[in-house]
Amino acid sequence: MQLQMSNSVGTRLFILRALLNPRRLGAVAPSSRHLGALLARHAVVDDGSPIVELGGGTGALTRALIKEGIDPARIYVIELDSALANYLKNAFPKVNVIQGNAAELDKILPPSIIGKVQRVVSGIPMINIPEGVRKKILKNCFDIMAPEGKLLQYTYSPRSSINAKAYRLKKKRLGTTFLNLPPATVWQYTRDR
User: 78: closest CA among 110, 118, 47?
Assistant: 110
Residue 141 CB neighbours (<10 A): 24
Tell me which of 190 and 20 has the higher pLDDT.
Answer: 190
The pLDDT assigned to 158 comes to 82
Question: Where does the pLDDT of residue 181 fall: very low under 50, low under 70, confident under 90, or very high at 90 and above?
Answer: confident
- In degrees, rounded to 5, the angle at the alpha carbon of residue 175 between the alpha carbons of residues 177 and 4 is 40
Report the pLDDT value the prediction gives residue 78, as an integer from 0 to 100: 98
66 vs 2, residue with greater confidence:
66
Number of separate domains in the chain: 1
Amino acid at site 103 = A
Per residue in 16-72, pLDDT (tens digit) is: 544 555 544 444 456 677 888 899 999 998 899 999 999 999 999 999 999 999 999
pLDDT tens figures, 77-136: 999 999 999 999 999 999 999 999 999 999 999 999 999 999 999 989 898 889 999 999
Q: Where residue 193 falls among pLDDT bands split at 50, 70, 90? A: confident
Domain that holds residue 44: 2-191
- Beta-carbon count within 10 A of 22 CB: 12
**pTM: predicted TM-score of the whole model, two decimal places:** 0.84
> Can you give the CATH number for the domain in which 85 is found?
3.40.50.150
